[in-house]
Amino acid sequence: MRAGCQETPCNIRNLCGELQKLGCDQDPSWLAILLFVRNLLRPFTIFDDSHKKKLQEYVFSELARRDPSAAHRAQMLAGLEQLLVDHLPMAAVKEQLATEQAASRSLARSITDFLEETLASEQERSTLVGAFGRETMDTLDGGDEPAVIIPRLRQLVVGMLAHYREEAQAWERKVQQLEKVIQVDPLLAPLHNRRSLEDHLCGAIARAEISGEPLAAMMIDVDNFKTAINDAFGHVVGDDVLRTLAKIIDAHATRHGWFAARFGGDELVLVCNIPGSQAQFHADAIRLAVQHYEFVPRIEGRLSEKPVRFTVSIGVAEHVSGMSAAELIGAADAAMYQVKTSGRNNVAQFEPSPA
């Protein structure tokens, strides 16, 4: 049976004839399954050739059993479904969901700890206030002269205020830590997440509209990330590549006081308070830093003998008056895809269409 041929009435009759030889011609479901693995599977890009072959071999081996029963068909469909689910992209989806669930659990634990510490602090404050009240009354009931009582009361008040000051500073640090947990991407920390990016862009654009100061955004995407990294080395190495890229971008953001975030997948965004021409210059510096970086992956617990090199395509867009956050990101994204279609590993600046 030739995979990928055009289905004509003659071809259908031939397939039915082959199914008849196998004793599976009475149920049209067998024909549907055969057409799926023989013809319809071919154009699916989420399956590589080796996996398509594995699916076809499985179905053909089951057909060779010459068992047309409904029970056998149900068993074969269950096996086919399992093979589809176990396919690498599906596994990647499950892995991503597991990562997000782990991040959610970590955030939930942080919030729970925060609330528990809040309750403990409330109890400690109640205890402190009670102790302060008892010590104050003991001082007043001691029968000493006012010249003795006043310094003692002052000491009690100063001690309690100092305790509250230290506690307030500790709580300020805890709040900052919790905010950081909520705002950063779980995989690429310290890069911010998309929600934080949207909030930052709205504020940055509002300030730029008032002050007239420049604002630009870069959209950074790893070239051939799926085929050259994930498919070739696995998703664990793919995550490490993204972490490496995040460190390079975060170094630039920290040096210049910019805002770096993960937009989604292997797309990262850098928001800069500089004109588009300067942003393009810095984008090319980032591109070169990535191009010359020798990333040594750890595969099955051992460092690879050969480094992996990867490149990025970067689109730059400058904010113009009236442009929304979504429009600014969309312009940077359009410029990035312009690079993708013209050879990759380059930088392009968005040029708006003439009015």
Asked if the structure places residue 331 within a domain, the reply is yes
Asked if the structure places residue 355 within a domain, the reply is no
**How far is residue 246's CA from residue 279's CA, in Å, rounded to a whole number?**
18
**How far is residue 295's CA from residue 4's CA, in Å, rounded to a whole number?**
40
- Measured CA distances, 332 to 242, 256, 347 (Å): 20, 20, 11
Same-domain pairing of 253 and 121: no
> What is the arithmetic mean of pLDDT over 298-312?
85
293 or 73, greater pLDDT = 293
- Measured CA distances, 262 to 18, 149, 186, 272 (Å): 53, 61, 10, 15
Asked if residue 302 has pLDDT above 70, the reply is yes
List phi, psi (to 5°) of 271. Answer: -105, 125
Q: What is the DSSP letter of 66?
A: -
Among residues 42, 63, 86, which one ends one of the domains? 86
- Per-residue confidence band for 224, with pLDDT thresholds at 50, 70 and 90: very high
Asked if the structure places residue 188 within a domain, the reply is no
**How far is residue 4's CA from residue 33's CA, in Å, rounded to a whole number?**
15
Asked if residue 259 has pLDDT above 70, the reply is yes
Among residues 86, 111, 139, which one ends one of the domains? 86
- Per-residue confidence band for 148, with pLDDT thresholds at 50, 70 and 90: low
Asked if the structure places residue 91 within a domain, the reply is no
Same-domain pairing of 199 and 138: no
Mind listing the pLDDT tens digit for each residue in 36-61? 766 656 655 556 667 777 777 887 78
Asked if residue 98 has pLDDT above 50, the reply is yes
Same-domain pairing of 165 and 204: no
165 or 133, greater pLDDT = 165
Same-domain pairing of 255 and 280: yes
The pLDDT score that the predictor gives to residue 85 is: 61
- Ordered alpha helix ranges (H), 24-144: 28-35, 49-63, 70-85, 88-140
Same-domain pairing of 198 and 142: no
Same-domain pairing of 111 and 58: no
Same-domain pairing of 165 and 201: no
Asked if the structure places residue 21 within a domain, the reply is yes
Closest C-alpha to 121, from 173, 171, 175: 171
Q: How many domains does the chain have?
A: 3
120-124, 229-233, 244-248, 316-320: lowest mean pLDDT where? 120-124
Asked if residue 145 has pLDDT above 80, the reply is no
Same-domain pairing of 131 and 200: no
Among residues 183, 217, 232, which one ends one of the domains? 183
Same-domain pairing of 51 and 145: no
| CATH code, domain carrying 222 | 3.30.70.270
DSSP 292-309: T--B--EETTEE-SS-B-
Asked if the structure places residue 303 within a domain, the reply is yes
Decide: pTM greater than 0.85: no
Same-domain pairing of 213 and 81: no
CA angle (37, 42, 47) in 5-degree steps: 90
Asked if the structure places residue 55 within a domain, the reply is yes
Tokens found for residue 327: 């429009």
163 or 351, greater pLDDT = 351
- Per-residue confidence band for 147, with pLDDT thresholds at 50, 70 and 90: low
The pLDDT score that the predictor gives to residue 74 is: 81
**How far is residue 242's CA from residue 4's CA, in Å, rounded to a whole number?**
37
259 or 24, greater pLDDT = 259
> What is the arithmetic mean of pLDDT over 299-320?
89
190 or 148, greater pLDDT = 190
In the chain, the N- to C-terminal Cα span, in Å, equals: 57
Same-domain pairing of 205 and 289: yes
Q: How do the residues of the chain divide into helix, strand and coil, expressed in percent and rounded to 5?
A: 65, 10, 25
**How far is residue 114's CA from residue 127's CA, in Å, rounded to a whole number?**
20
Parent domain of 105: 99-183
Asked if the structure places residue 3 within a domain, the reply is no
List phi, psi (to 5°) of 12. Answer: -60, -45
Same-domain pairing of 308 and 235: yes
Looking at every residue in the chain, the average pLDDT score rounds to 77
